[in-house]
Amino acid sequence: MKIFTSWMSWGQAAGPLAEVLPSQAVNRVREAVRFARVQHGVQQRPTGRPYVEHLLEALEVAAAGAQVRDPDVLTAIVLHDVLEDTPCTEKELTRRFGADVTGLVRWVTRPANGRKSDHLATLAEAPAQAVLVKLADRVSNVQELQRMPWRFQKRYYLETVAYILPLAAPHPWFARWYEEWREPWSRRVARYPG
């Protein structure tokens, strides 16, 4: 199973993206990274790492792993948490990146008072582009799940198997990646059920 942690800064992402995307698309993704960095500010991941690293990991998963080339999808991947985790509004996001990107981000944004499981279940009805955003996001989240406390690991594993693996099935690269990830985790969860 490949781990995607090579793009921890825009400088590390820019070269590989320039090899596979037109310059206009690279510039758009660069602007999304700048915008996300400002919006997320000093937010950190649960591991204490800067939040922007998660966004770049998800971008690397999609572009380098799954070979996604759609600029709207790649831009939405970078921006996927701005509506949920920052003061950014849909209006501002649309003004900066367009209605299509905002629509994709909206699909993967959990409603303020909504249950996570209900939100994940609605993704079964999402357009394929929005599903790609969620799949890349979740790869970033689970690829080093062992760093989290055990109760979180177990809950997140079960949630991923129940909701995310079915979403991955129609996308061959993601289906293979998640299956490779699931195998050792299923044994681990079986060994330590508590």
For residue 70, give the 3-state DSSP assignment: coil
Choose the catalytic residue: 84, 92, 144, 159.
84
Instruction: State pLDDT tens for residues 5-61.
Output: 999 999 999 999 999 999 999 999 999 999 999 999 999 988 888 999 999 999 999
| Helix, strand, coil % in the chain, rounded to nearest 5 | 75, 0, 25
CA distance 50 to 48: 7
What is the average per-residue pLDDT within 58-65? 98
Of 31, 53, 85, 100, catalytic:
85
- 72 catalytic, yes or no? no
Query: Which tens digit of pLDDT belongs to each residue from 81-120?
Result: 999 999 999 999 999 999 999 999 999 999 988 899 999 9
In the numeric block, the tokens 């709207």 are attached to 72
Q: What is the pTM of this model?
A: 0.95
Let me know if 100 is a catalytic residue. Answer: no
In one letter, which amino acid is 191?
R
* Token code pair at residue 15: 């070269």
CA distance 106 to 83: 7
36/34 Cα distance (integer angstroms): 6
* Cα Rg, the chain, nearest whole Å: 16
Res. 151: pLDDT tops 90: no
Task: Sketch out the chain's domains with CATH numbers.
Answer: 10-191 (1.10.3210.10)
Quote the percentage of the chain above a pLDDT of 70: 99
